[in-house]
Chain A
Amino acid sequence: MATTTVEGLKSAASARATFWARLRQGLGIVFESRVATVGLAIALFWLLIAFVSLFWTPYPPNAQMFGQNLPPNSVNWLGTDHMGRDLVSRLMAGTQVILLKTRVPVGDKTIPIPVGVALWGVIGSLAFGTLLGVNAAYRGGTTDQVSMQVLDALIAFPQIVLYLVVISALGQGDLVVILAITVTGAPGVARLARSLTLDIKTRDYVRAAETRGESKWFIMLREILPNARGPLLVDAMLRVGYAIFAIGTLGFLGIGLPPPDPDWGSMVNEARRYIFSSPWSVIWPSLAIASLVISLNLFADGLREELARYQK
């Protein structure tokens, strides 16, 4: 919470000084909690792997240059898959689409843009859900009723069904997966944002803004939202985990991120036919998904606990 700033509202020099002070304080909170520290370490490990894989992997991730379904050995540290591709290289490259790049089709080419599918999905649901939730709670009355009923209806569908609907309507692709994550994540964020706003809007500083005759959007975005960001960011951290999980699920169903770039979900899917003869190519990507999701959960939990204690 303390790491976000209100830069641009103050003169640049003092802003910079307080920015670093707050960053240090923010990180201090993380290291107070052992759980959060462990979570952060694992997540940073995967982030590092993703960056490294942009420039270097042991072998090209899509090259079929080894024997099929090899167990871990001195050449292929984690073994190979059913097409003779190196698992270490594929696992490393698999982090990219989740964390670092999104492939956007332009004409008949695809251009990678920065930030991975999981993160875009969460950013999307955060933006969409927060706006809906804050708006519903601050305006109240009919606006609140209608928007919350629509979101409740959305929650009532099983997520898998929603994914299938979105993807069968729009076809496969990174952007479609982002959209699917946004649509399924937004109702949860909206509920959280709404409950936070219902509390914050009773505070006197909101009254003060109203007696100045400020517009509703100014009050929502400048007075209320900054004070709701702590819990929302913690929630977003958890949601990155869910999104990675969702991408894995979609990949496993064969409707996830399109080939040929490897992603962990489709690696599990492709390898599951050989699970009895060579379990390794299922185990590694599953472990990777699990460790990243757990690390983000740990980080978010630890952060939430420390924030709660800090605020007391």
Chain B
Amino acid sequence: MTDLQVIDRSAPPVLKIEDLAVAYKVRGGEIEAVQNVSFEIHRGESHGIVGESGCGKSTVAWAIVNFLGENGYVKRGSIKFQGQDLVEKRGEELRKLRGDQIAMVYQDPMQALNPSMKLGDQLKEVLKVHRGLSDEEAHQRSVDMLGRVYMPDPENVMERYPHQISGGQQQRVVIAMALLNNPALLIMDEPTTALDVTVEAAVLDLISELRRDFDTAIMYITHNMGVVARVTSTVGVMYAGEMVERGPVQEIFARPQHPYTQGLLRAIPRLGTEKSTSVLYPIRGRVPPPDQRPSGCIFSPRCDYVRERCRVERPLLRQIQGTNMQVRCHFSEEIDPAQWRPSEDIELPVPQQAGKASEPILELQGLRKYYEVHGNTLKDVLGLGQKRYVKAVEDATFSVPKGKTLGIVGESGCGKSTLIKTIVGLESATDGKGRYLGFDITQNISKRDLGLIKELQMVFQNPDSTMNPSYPVGVQIERPLRRFKTVPKDQVRAEVVRLLNAMRLSEAYYDRLPRQLSGGEKQRVGIARALASHPDLVLCDEPVSALDVSVQAAILNLLIDLQQEFNTTLLFIAHDLSVVRFFSDYVAVMYLGQVMDIGPAEAIYLPPYHPYTEALLSAVPIPDPTAQQKRIRLEGTVPSAINPPSGCRFHTRCPRRALLPDPSICTTTPPWREAGNGHRIFCHHTIETLRNLDPVITT
């Protein structure tokens, strides 16, 4: 948060939570999901709640609005909203309070909006039910509010259904709906997690602005440290159901007091760091399940500074002398993060200077992938209509040297996944050339040779679906070994154990079923399965996006290690630009099926860059509240890939179009411009113009 805003802390807080404990009744007992949580939010304050998944962030929010479900209840403590205790309230009284004074915005806007009602009716309903306004008044107020959240053409949007507007616009409508009653407290539960970075940036701007204008108290739940740094003024860090640290956002990032917060910040790559010079440090161990929490300090089993007292006595949330920080640690004054060294039992990759670029292993030349669209008109059914295509990948031309990593970034629907699916052979290419070590790879897998198939393997995004739930781990890793006959039959089990060990998993995992594994462990097994055939090219489709940051660090370290050991080439898709920057040697930026900007990783993140890359960099949330970012926001939404803009596909949204002497040139195909060192930009602007742009991020 860069704008310093005066928050009146002498006035009574809007929300005051004291010693809250929430329990769920489950088969054979109950589980305390949240314990000893205390915090308060004042008017105009934006209070962030951060933590990894399963640490009770959402449960706190549900406790406030009493949505704990049939088996959950507030076991201890109080939730005071404007002086009234919400825990005691039941039925109609609570319902009115929730509707009038507290509003909530959820992660998925599509689930918050009723798909069978017009947006206007849904907005008006809020005012009619809670304020008793007439239809015309409600309509006018709704239209005003939609304009307030920068919804283009509000009158028209009122008449539309949720599926007719984009995800970012849906979230705006949900926020508008939440603000209609001018609530005293706005709870936001990961409101931008499902959105693309450019859309996320616009929604985050909106939230900061609304907080200033409406003077609402905001409780903002997220797992993303970058988002916290951008929109909150105070942060509470949650771990395993407890709040372990609380303080102003700048202080949390500058001087984290609790070992867990310090660990979290060490686990995330800062934008600009790379694997050849720096290391990510995962937090060892994993979050204990609620029924197995230690009796002493809840973080003690994973803490590097643990002492005898930590194991027996649970620390209280206490104020640090001379600061605004509260921390739940016995020894935080004695801990100096600068003196920290990773503990012996964590294996870390040794940063290595990148070797010389070697032979290209993968070469693409004008690769295209079109999907035919089936229309529903009679003409289309009879096959008489004009054929239309989704142009998912257009003219992809690049090569990847052996042993290097190419990161691919871009918003959802830009063709990243289609590109690697075509390379791996799940789809056959429509046109163009693709060669892997000289072998043709434009055909799909059914036409490929087994020897080629085993060289290209893939790691998937979702840890929950990457493994077949019906078979134990060992069987799933064995399958590629048997199929590709990588090792003789009698050595299969030994090889599986070796692979498991390489993934830092013990032999005991051989007989475990996927549901007994955590997300990070499943992802490790997925990587082991992909590596079982000793492939030379591994395609990773967002392998760490669904993981918590500390687990993400461990998986990235693992991949770096494996790459150094086997000299594997990686194609790495991710939407987190800091991760891509950290992990990749080369980066390709895609927009609407077209590679816009490609080159060495360090070159992509500094001028000259493509205007789209510039906009992406300006949108990415940086986990550093003091960093200055240029503010470039793209207008409109990504056009349809069935009918992409002619010429430069980005020209309809390009913020740098005005810099061109003759903007009409944009409808012609731009040239590839060489910026040196293999950096190529697909743009009408000259390299000099692009080089003179200011860097997006200054720290």
Cβ-defined partner of B426 (8 Å) among A6, A203, A210: A210
**In contact, A212 and B453 (Cβ under 8 angstroms):** yes
**In contact, B470 and A204 (Cβ under 8 angstroms):** no
Which chain B residues lie closer than 8 Å to A204 at the CB level?
Answer: 460-462, 465-466, 526
CA distance A9 to B470 in the complex (A): 11
The reply on A226 being an interface residue by CB < 8 A is: yes
Cβ-defined partner of A207 (8 Å) among B426, B448, B511: B426
**In contact, A6 and B475 (Cβ under 8 angstroms):** yes
Which chain A residues lie closer than 8 Å to B446 at the CB level?
Answer: 213
The reply on B474 being an interface residue by CB < 8 A is: yes
- The A1-41 residues at the B interface (CB cut-off 8 A) are 6, 9-10, 14, 18, 32
CA distance A18 to B473 in the complex (A): 14
The reply on B202 being an interface residue by CB < 8 A is: no
The reply on A227 being an interface residue by CB < 8 A is: yes
- Chain B residue with the shortest CB-CB distance to A210: B426
**In contact, B479 and A212 (Cβ under 8 angstroms):** yes
Which chain A residues lie closer than 8 Å to B480 at the CB level?
Answer: 212
Contact flags B458-484 to A (C-beta < 8 A → 1, else 0): 101110011111111011100110011
Q: How far is the CB of B645 from chain A (nearest CB, A)?
A: 31
The reply on B206 being an interface residue by CB < 8 A is: no
CA distance A73 to B466 in the complex (A): 66
Cβ-defined partner of A227 (8 Å) among B426, B461, B470, B511: B470
CA distance A223 to B471 in the complex (A): 9
**In contact, B445 and A205 (Cβ under 8 angstroms):** no
Which chain B residues lie closer than 8 Å to A32 at the CB level?
Answer: 27
Q: How far is the CB of B370 from chain A (nearest CB, A)?
A: 18
Which chain A residues lie closer than 8 Å to B157 at the CB level?
Answer: none
Cβ-defined partner of B458 (8 Å) among A9, A211, A214: A211
**In contact, B483 and A208 (Cβ under 8 angstroms):** no
CA distance A227 to B476 in the complex (A): 14
**In contact, A207 and B475 (Cβ under 8 angstroms):** no
**In contact, A210 and B445 (Cβ under 8 angstroms):** yes
**In contact, B445 and A9 (Cβ under 8 angstroms):** no
**In contact, B456 and A211 (Cβ under 8 angstroms):** yes
The reply on B450 being an interface residue by CB < 8 A is: yes
Q: How far is the CB of B250 from chain A (nearest CB, A)?
A: 40
Which chain B residues lie closer than 8 Å to A211 at the CB level?
Answer: 424-426, 445, 453, 456-458
Please judge, given known A-B contacts A210-B426, A227-B468, whether A14 and B461 are in contact too, CB under 8 Å: no
**In contact, B466 and A6 (Cβ under 8 angstroms):** no
The reply on B529 being an interface residue by CB < 8 A is: yes
Contact flags A214-226 to B (C-beta < 8 A → 1, else 0): 1000000001001
CA distance A211 to B530 in the complex (A): 9
Which chain A residues lie closer than 8 Å to B472 at the CB level?
Answer: 6, 9-10
CA distance A205 to B467 in the complex (A): 5
Which chain A residues lie closer than 8 Å to B530 at the CB level?
Answer: 208
**In contact, B471 and A6 (Cβ under 8 angstroms):** yes
CA distance A10 to B478 in the complex (A): 11
CA distance A56 to B468 in the complex (A): 48
**In contact, B471 and A208 (Cβ under 8 angstroms):** no
**In contact, B466 and A212 (Cβ under 8 angstroms):** no
Q: How far is the CB of A27 from chain B (nearest CB, A)?
A: 15
**In contact, B483 and A212 (Cβ under 8 angstroms):** yes
A18-B511, A213-B446, A213-B483 provided; 10 other pairs, C-beta below 8 A? A6-B472, A32-B27, A204-B466, A207-B426, A208-B529, A212-B453, A212-B484, A213-B450, A226-B470, A227-B468
Binding site for A on B (CB under 8 A): 27, 424-426, 445-446, 448, 450, 453-454, 456-458, 460-462, 465-472, 474-476, 479-480, 483-484, 511, 526, 529-530, 533
Binding site for B on A (CB under 8 A): 6, 9-10, 14, 18, 32, 203-205, 207-208, 210-214, 223, 226-227
A-B pairs, 5 with minimum CB distance: A226-B470, A204-B460, A203-B465, A213-B453, A205-B468
Query: Can you name 5 A-B pairs with beta carbons within 8 Å?
Result: A18-B511, A208-B466, A211-B458, A213-B446, A223-B468
